[in-house]
């Protein structure tokens, strides 16, 4: 009787230590990226494909090349913002890789924001959401001395960056 009781007690302890696996579902919303759409400056209601756009984060050597003929949607990009700190700087190079250096144009945009961490779940941890600075959401400069910006105008559509299902920034060129 004692042996049966001890065996049942041991069995009960082994079952109580089991718990379900915590796996973060791939469909769980995570930290959103900044969604940017490109528009024709002369006809602001028309989306415009970007030709050989290279986007490089500050301090990085390699960037992402967005080529309108190779991507399914050459007028929209999504780029990450830093979760540590209050700003992220990117260089946007139009006609990157063109053999004629006169046609290559680089603009630099620094996005200023605040972050807030939200608990998603035990398996997924935290995600960050961003709020663009209401007084100065970005700083736009030209990387060359000619000071001819290829980006003519930037419009903030959504200051709160909580998901990737909407456009946050519109760039007109």
Tokens of 64: 């992402």
Task: Please report whether residue 55 resides in a domain.
Answer: yes
Task: Please report whether residue 125 resides in a domain.
Answer: yes
Tokens of 151: 């980006």
Domain that holds residue 138: 46-172
Task: Please report whether residue 87 resides in a domain.
Answer: yes
pTM: 0.81
User: Cα–Cα distance between 65 and 93 in angstroms, integer?
Assistant: 9
**pLDDT at residue number 78:** 93
Each residue of 72-114: pLDDT tens digit?
457 999 999 999 999 999 999 888 888 888 888 899 999 999 9
Query: Who has greater pLDDT, 2 or 79?
Result: 79
Cα dihedral angle (93, 136, 115, 171), rounded to 10 degrees?
-40
Looking at the predicted structure, is the pLDDT value of residue 67 above 90? no
Task: Please report whether residue 40 resides in a domain.
Answer: no
Question: Which residue, 94, 50, 57, is CA-closest to 79?
Answer: 57
Task: Please report whether residue 124 resides in a domain.
Answer: yes
Number of domains in the chain: 1
Task: Please report whether residue 17 resides in a domain.
Answer: no
Task: Please report whether residue 68 resides in a domain.
Answer: yes
Each residue of 141-164: pLDDT tens digit?
987 656 578 999 999 999 999 999
Task: Please report whether residue 27 resides in a domain.
Answer: no
């Amino acid at each position: 009787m004692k042996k049966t009781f001890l065996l049942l007690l041991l069995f009960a302890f082994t079952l109580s230590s089991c718990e379900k696996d915590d796996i973060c579902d791939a469909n769980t919303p995570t930290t959103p990226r900044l969604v940017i759409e490109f528009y024709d400056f002369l006809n602001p209601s028309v989306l415009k494909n970007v030709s050989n756009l290279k986007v490089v984060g500050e301090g990085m050597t390699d960037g992402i090349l967005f080529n309108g003929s190779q991507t399914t949607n050459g007028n929209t990009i999504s780029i990450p913002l830093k979760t540590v700190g209050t700003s992220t700087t990117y260089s946007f190079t139009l006609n990157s890789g063109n053999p004629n250096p006169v046609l290559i144009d680089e603009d630099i945009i620094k996005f200023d924001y605040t972050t807030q961490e939200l608990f998603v779940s035990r398996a997924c941890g935290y995600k960050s959401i961003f709020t663009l600075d209401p007084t100065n959401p970005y700083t736009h400069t030209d990387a060359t001395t000619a000071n001819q910006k290829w980006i003519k105008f930037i419009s903030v559509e959504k200051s709160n960056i909580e998901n990737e299902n909407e456009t946050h920034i519109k760039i007109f060129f």
